[in-house]
Structure 1
Amino acid sequence: MNIGFFSAKKYDEEFFNQANKNYGYKVRYFDFSLTEKSVVMASEFEAICVFVNDRINKNVLDTLSKGKTKYIAFRCAGYNNIDLQYAQKKGFRCVRVPAYSPNAVAEHVLALLLTLYRSTHKAYNRVREGNFSLTGLSGEEIFGKTVGIVGTGNIGSIVANIFNGLGCEVIASDPVVNQDLMSKSSIQYVDLEELYQRADIITLHCPLTNDNRHMIDSHSIQMMKRGVTLVNTGRGGLINTQAVYEALKSKHIGYLAIDVYEEEASLFFEDLSTDIIMDDLFMRLTTFPNVLITGHQGFFTKRALKQIAETTLENLKALEKRLKSDNEIF
């Protein structure tokens, strides 16, 4: 099989080349995203491998259907960036990596929260400058807080166990109750409105759909406790950024930690350190001392990258042999 990788970075090449030793596929890496303009580069590939910032809309799918492409492999869990119904209509088979390393993302939630609460990023910079003053570094403790988890799939359930271990009251909201999690922990399921009202910390772990886009907006924020902490390592579109910005200014939101951003496609995964970033709202967020932003790195561990590569190639092997893949998207 001939596979074209879009939005490929050096680390993608490293881990996929290693995994491909067991498959022997022909691969070509492109460091640019799949778009309506770049899709012409995909005509020779039986399969294309895409990531979160690639855009697979109707026009892209129409162009793909005129070439050799039959398979679309997502090297990530989410697939909100494809017109799935149209892809299926055009006969494409699509696969994803649903659980490359849920522990990686769950641990990143804790890393973000501890950094914000204990100002370790500020302390690190001070010490490097010879400043050992503690003024302005007094923090919060996680112990005893009520943590609200939205979505209790692979990642959310691990996050629940982490906060249980830290002595928190854990509540959750999910249309599907995780019975295994319920049996092994003291987690309590509540409706979303009650979660907003009770939680000191709210962390999002649900997929992005048309129904929950901007689930965190001015209306839902008003239900929350004043000074609430909001963490999002899920999908940027779950949050209405303008509403959160206003709530930060009014101090209704006490802390914000995000690893995703709804307009991240033009920002994340690129080195823009010598450019002028034109997203004014994003840049305003970076000025808040109680906001911490990372560039979609929650998944980014060696174990996860290895698992992503191996699962993606195994998915494509199943499709090539016309076998059923448990990771096929329907």
Structure 2
Amino acid sequence: MNVTFFNTKVYDQQFFSEANKDFRHKLKFLEVPLNENTAVLAKGSTAVCVFVNDLVNKQVLQHLAQVEIKLVALRCAGFNNVNLKAAAQLGIKVVRVPAYSPYAVAEHTLALILTLNRKTHRAYNRIREGNFALNGLMGFDLHGKAVGIIGLGKIGLVTSRILKGFGCRVLGYDVARSKEADEIGVEFSDLDNLYAQSDIISLHCPLTPDTYHLISDASIAKMKDGVMLINTSRGAIIDTRAVINGLKREKIKYLGLDVYEEEGDLFFEDLSNKVIQDDVFMRLLSFNNVLITGHQAFLTIDALQSIAKVTLQNITDFEQGKELVNELQA
């Protein structure tokens, strides 16, 4: 099957080309993102493959339908950027990779927590400049601390297991209680109790209308003074301006982000020679207790191999008329 890939980087081309030896699809890699202006570039293909920041709204889907695209294959788990109802109306199937490597994101979550706590990023820069002073580098023991996990899917559960290994007390919130969470020793909690008791709060829930700006002025006010807040899920779960207010009041003492609600114009690109126009993002960078990575939590060899294999299998299943086990329904 002919497949047009949008928004690709060198690593996408590398891993998909390698995995495709077993599938033999015809892959066309484009660096440009998918939007209303670029959708026409998919002409001649039956499927498109897109990533988290590609635009797949009603207008884009209409353009894709005009060039006879029948399948949108997401090479990610999140799908908040896709208008599923419009896709269904146009007869376009949508598939995703529901779980590639929960360990990749969970381990990155711990990397953010440990780096913020022990300030290893600041220590690294000091040592390179010959500064061996320890002032300002004091952290705390993770052992015995209460960590609130919002979202107990695969990533949230793996994160919980790791934290239990550190000797943390783990409180968890999800719309449904799972047996596995109980087996791990997660204390199921409502949000208000989780906010009030957690020394660290880590977000692992999908972006839905219910979770949009879940972290707001109101929820931050319920948190412990000096809380650490981590987000490796979706940027818009956090109201960035509310978090900035929390940092200024020192309600939030540590902030670790791998996602940002307006990341579409920033992340995955080299902007080192440009002036960044996002004033809110630049305000975040001005705090020395904020650590931001550019949506790299998924970026491990294991995860990329899994993403490529599952995505290409989704495409093959569609081509062969098999059941689409990873299909998204409106």
**Which TM class, normalised by the smaller chain length?**
over 0.9
Name 2:82's counterpart in structure 1.
82
Q: Superposition pairs for residues 147-166 of structure 1, below 5 Å?
A: 147-166=147-166
Give the alignment's TM-score, normalised by structure 2: 0.98
Q: Within 1, Cα distance between the matches of 2:52 and 2:27?
A: 19
Q: Within 2, Cα distance between the matches of 1:128 and 1:136?
A: 17
CA RMSD of aligned residues (A): 0.8
Q: Does 1:6 align with 2:6?
A: yes
Instruction: Tell me the alpha carbon deviations over residues 70-103 of structure 1, each in whole angstroms, 9 at most, x when there is no partner.
Output: 0000000000001111111111111101111000
Q: Within 2, Cα distance between the matches of 1:177 and 1:91?
A: 35
1:325 Cα deviation after fit = 2.1
Q: Does 1:296 align with 2:295?
A: yes
1:315 Cα deviation after fit = 0.6
Question: Counterpart amino acid of 2:208?
Answer: T
Q: Superposition pairs for residues 223-302 of structure 1, below 5 Å?
A: 223-302=222-301
1:68 Cα deviation after fit = 2.1
Q: Within 2, Cα distance between the matches of 1:203 and 1:93?
A: 33
For 1:48, what is the secondary structure of its paired residue? Answer: strand
Q: Which of 122-131 and 198-207 deviates more?
A: 122-131
Question: Counterpart amino acid of 2:185?
Answer: S
Q: Within 1, Cα distance between the matches of 2:320 and 2:173?
A: 40
Query: Could you tell me the percent identity over the aligned residues?
Result: 51
Q: Does 1:21 align with 2:32?
A: no
For 2:305, what is the secondary structure of its paired residue? Answer: helix
Question: Counterpart amino acid of 1:168?
Answer: C
Name structure 1 gaps, 5 residues minimum. Answer: none
Name 1:121's counterpart in structure 2.
121
Q: Within 2, Cα distance between the matches of 1:226 and 1:30?
A: 47
Question: Counterpart amino acid of 2:320?
Answer: K
Q: Superposition pairs for residues 1-330 of structure 1, below 5 Å?
A: 1-183=1-183, 185-330=184-329
Q: Within 2, Cα distance between the matches of 1:96 and 1:309?
A: 11
Q: Within 2, Cα distance between the matches of 1:211 and 1:44?
A: 39
Name structure 2 gaps, 5 residues minimum. Answer: none
Question: Counterpart amino acid of 2:107?
Answer: E
Instruction: Tell me the alpha carbon deviations over residues 135-165 of structure 1, each in whole angstroms, 9 at most, x when there is no partner.
Output: 2111122111100000111000001111111
1:63 Cα deviation after fit = 0.8
1:213 Cα deviation after fit = 0.2
Q: Within 1, Cα distance between the matches of 2:276 and 2:94?
A: 34
Q: Within 2, Cα distance between the matches of 1:287 and 1:47?
A: 43
1:228 Cα deviation after fit = 0.7
Q: Within 2, Cα distance between the matches of 1:186 and 1:302?
A: 30
Question: Counterpart amino acid of 1:186?
Answer: G
Q: Which of 25-34 and 174-183 deviates more?
A: 174-183
Q: Within 1, Cα distance between the matches of 2:89 and 2:201?
A: 38
Instruction: Tell me the alpha carbon deviations over residues 174-202 of structure 1, each in whole angstroms, 9 at most, x when there is no partner.
Output: 0111212212x221101111111111110
Q: Within 2, Cα distance between the matches of 1:283 and 1:142?
A: 30
The structure 1 segments of at least 4 consecutive aligned residues displaced by more than 6 Å after TM superposition are none
For 2:77, what is the secondary structure of its paired residue? Answer: coil
Instruction: Tell me the alpha carbon deviations over residues 116-153 of structure 1, each in whole angstroms, 9 at most, x when there is no partner.
Output: 10010011111111211112111122111100000111
For 1:87, what is the secondary structure of its paired residue? Answer: helix
Q: Which of 173-182 and 236-245 deviates more?
A: 173-182
Q: Within 2, Cα distance between the matches of 1:90 and 1:137?
A: 56
Q: Within 2, Cα distance between the matches of 1:204 and 1:8?
A: 27
For 1:284, what is the secondary structure of its paired residue? Answer: helix
Q: Within 2, Cα distance between the matches of 1:212 and 1:113?
A: 22
Give the alignment's TM-score, normalised by structure 1: 0.98
1:43 Cα deviation after fit = 2.2
